[in-house]
Structure formats: C-alpha cells, structure tokens
Copies of this chain bind each other. A is one copy, B any other.
Amino acid sequence: MDLFEYQGKQLFARHGIPVPSGEVAETPEAARSAAERIGGKVVVKAQVQVGGRGKAGGIKLADTPAEAEEHARAILGMDIKGHTVHTVWIEAASAIVKEYYASITFDRGEKKPLVMLSAMGGVDIEEVAASNPEALARLHVDPLTGFQAHHARWLVSNAKIDVGAQKGVVAILQQLYAAFIDLDAMLVEINPLIWTESGDVVALDAKVTIDNNALYRHSDLAEMQQSVTEDEQERMAQERGVTYVKLDGDVGILGNGAGLVMSTLDVVALAGGRPANFLDAGGGSQADEVVTALEVLLSDTKVKSLLINIFGGITRCDEVAKGLLTALDKMNATLPIVVRLDGTNEEEGRKIIAEQAPDNVVVEQTMLSAAQRAVELAKGA
C-alpha cells in the first residue's frame, strides 16, 4: 500500500522526523485558508502516487494566499500520467541550501534492509546510482541487531554529507529506520532531504509503502488506505480483494496463482495475442470468488475474448465451473470464453461446462491450445 506524500509526512512527524508545517486541501478555497494559517510563502503540491509531478506542473510556489488558491485551482483536477489530482498539500516554503537523498528498502537479494544516502538528492537518484555509484552510500542492516548510531555516522561520512548537516542527517536516519520498523514499511524514501538556511535538516518529500500483510497490526494505517485507482475494473477488484492489473490488450485472463497467470499472459503473447489484464483468483478459489473475479473481467468492454486457465490444487475445478455459470447468468455475457481446467476435480468441472454452459463457452485440453483459441477468437470478434 503506497501512501500519499502528506500521509507519509504525517507519519514522519510522529516519528520525530522534521517536515515543513502543512495542511491538506481539496478545494482552492481550502488551499487559500491553509496558506493563511501557515503564513509566508507556501508550496502547493499535487497529491498523486506517481513520479514527475513537478515537471507536469503539479508543484507551485505561492507568495500569497491568493496565489495559493490560484495554483490549487490549476492543480486540482489535473491529470498527471493518468492520475487525477484530488488533493493538494500546502506547506511552508523552505530555504534550501542543499538537497540530499535518503531511503530504506528491502533488499530481497541480501534479505536485509538496505539504507541508502546521497549528498546528490533532488534529482533522478537512479541516474546518480548508475553514473556515479560512489555518490550513493549503501549499507545493509542486520534485522536482529538493528540500525545503530555508528551506521548512520558511516553513511553520513561516506556519502560526504556537508559537515554542518551531519548531525541532523544522523538523527533523521535513525528516526527513519525506527519508522521503517514501526510502520512495517517496505519502503521509506526522502527525496529531497534538505539542509536549510537555518541549519536544519528537513524531509521535503515522503514516499512510504506499507506491507499489506502487516496492516492487521496497524489499524491507524489501514484507515489511510483509500482507493487511488482511476480504472473502474481495478477499483472493483480492489474492493473485492482480487489481484487485478489492467493491461492494454483484448484477451481477458483469469487464472489461479500468480505464476500460472503470468505464464498464461506469456503464452497468449506467444500465440500472437495481447492480454487485457492480469487476474489472479487466488489459491483457494471457491465458486463465489470466481464469480467476483469474472464480474470484474466481464465489465471491461475492451475484452474481446476470455481465457480461463485453472490448475486445481486447493482450488477445485468444479467450483470454478459453477462460478463461471453463475457469473454468465448474472452478467449475461456473450463474448467467447475459452476454458482450460486441470487438476483437482477436473472431470467434474469439464462435465458441468459441457452440460450446462452456453455456446460461447468452449473447453480446451491444454494451456497452449486454450491460449491459441482465445487469441483467434479475440481477433475474430
């Protein structure tokens, strides 16, 4: 679960990490009064979960509350890379001397948290990492003994942080690690981390990703979760707890298990087709869950044909077949549907379809032939 900048900053503030004072606004008028309360120059920042909002015009400096209102009016409703701006964050403008970069992520390869720090922040840090790897100090942390003051000192020394800012950065790195642990975060990132004219070190941005698996022990964070999805099917899937990602093709795909679904996508592409989506109905799919998943898929008008590829382990093929019939009945769908059922109760499943399914449903014996058929049908439609 990705948080918005303003949510991340609120969490940072709770963990003692200095952030500029600010307020959320959802209307130009609210932006104006927020600017009045904050006082002085403010920055109006679009709240979207996508990079590059600065270049897209989503971040503006305002000298007066009136100007803040004006900027908010321009930014609210703006489309930034497919994301509509519904909220702006108004915060006190900072007098920046220097921009740094700091982050903590999971390094899956090392199986340890990785802390990264650079004196070259405020820019594309991936570019820095590629072209000037020395400029990005990296340190892995033992999860059992944790991040310690000497780690912070080593990072600051090796990232060549300016002497006057070192103490502040050392403190923030320790607080950031505490936040990373306390929040069950997969990522905490500050870019830029700024050194101000008054000598403070302040988080000017905040990118926080929370581990969905850990939300059960963070009721306050779970409340922050809100749909940021513009796509109708993705929103439906999210609400129903189904893993769904929209793609730009026309062969709708439903499978059980992420690996098998990915493989199905690949096989459809090999057969010359273009997958319309990724939809994993999950491990233990019961008939109800299959209905839910199909409702998401069938509501997408771009889908020309549908490929249902199931290998039953925990999942039972007869349940899938029943779910399919129920969904077709409910949605009154007429597009061509290719079904491949294998594994637990495969015979029963095939039998249900053969006997009860309408003519637009065809059964194929293998994954490969099913993919070829679905691609053909999409092209013919």
Contacts and interface: CB of A to CB of B under 8 A. Distances in A.
Contacts of A144: 144-145
A178 to B, nearest CB: 15
A42 to B, nearest CB: 38
A243 to B, nearest CB: 30
Contacts of A145: 144
Interface in A228-284: none
A144 B144 CA distance: 6
Interface of A: 144-145
Secondary structure type dominating chain A contacts:
loop
State the copy count for this chain: 2
2 contacts: A144-B144, A144-B145
Nearest to A142: B144
A145 B145 CA distance: 9
A183 to B, nearest CB: 19
Nearest to A144: B144
The 2 closest A-B pairs by CB, nearest first: A144-B144, A144-B145
Nearest to A143: B144
A144 B142 CA distance: 11
A311 to B, nearest CB: 35
A270 to B, nearest CB: 47
Nearest to A146: B144
A64 to B, nearest CB: 45
A50 B219 CA distance: 44
Nearest to A145: B144
A112 to B, nearest CB: 15
A350 B144 CA distance: 54
A16 to B, nearest CB: 15
A136 to B, nearest CB: 29
A216 to B, nearest CB: 15
A144 B145 CA distance: 7
A227 B144 CA distance: 38
A316 B300 CA distance: 87
A144 to B, nearest CB: 4
A31 to B, nearest CB: 42
A105 B144 CA distance: 22
A144 B143 CA distance: 10
